[in-house]
Amino acid sequence: MTLTNDELMDIIRDADTQIDFSKLDADTPFDSANADSLDLMNILLGVQEKLDIEIPDDEVENLNTVNKILSYVN
């Protein structure tokens, strides 16, 4: 299964993060849009649940933008 940009944005919205969506685009690091490490974990948990996959802990810090997540899972 693939994940679209729109589906990922829905996951981010549903993750109850502190992200400022006015600062977020596909290549903006989440921390530049006011996200913290807990927000990133919640986003990645949503991705894992949606796709029924497991993302190794050592990959988490590399998945800090929308495009990086999409590239990793697709």
pLDDT of residue 50: 97
The mean pLDDT value for 39-64 works out to 96
Q: How far from chain centre, in Å, is Cα 70?
A: 8
What is residue 22's predicted lDDT score, i.e. its pLDDT?
94
Please name each of the domains of the chain with its CATH number: 5-73 (1.10.1200.10)
How far is the C-alpha of 73 from the C-alpha of 71, rounded, in Å? Answer: 6
| Angle of the 5-14 helix axis to the 66-73 helix axis, nearest 10 | 120
Is residue 66 a contact partner of residue 19, using CB atoms and an 8 Å limit?
Answer: no
User: How far is residue 17's CA from residue 71's CA, in Å, rounded to a whole number?
Assistant: 22
Q: What is the model's pLDDT at position 42?
A: 96
Please state the rounded mean pLDDT for residues 39-51.
97
φ and ψ at residue 46, rounded to 5 degrees: -65, -40
User: Residue 1: pLDDT band by 50, 70, 90 thresholds?
Assistant: confident
pLDDT for position 15: 94
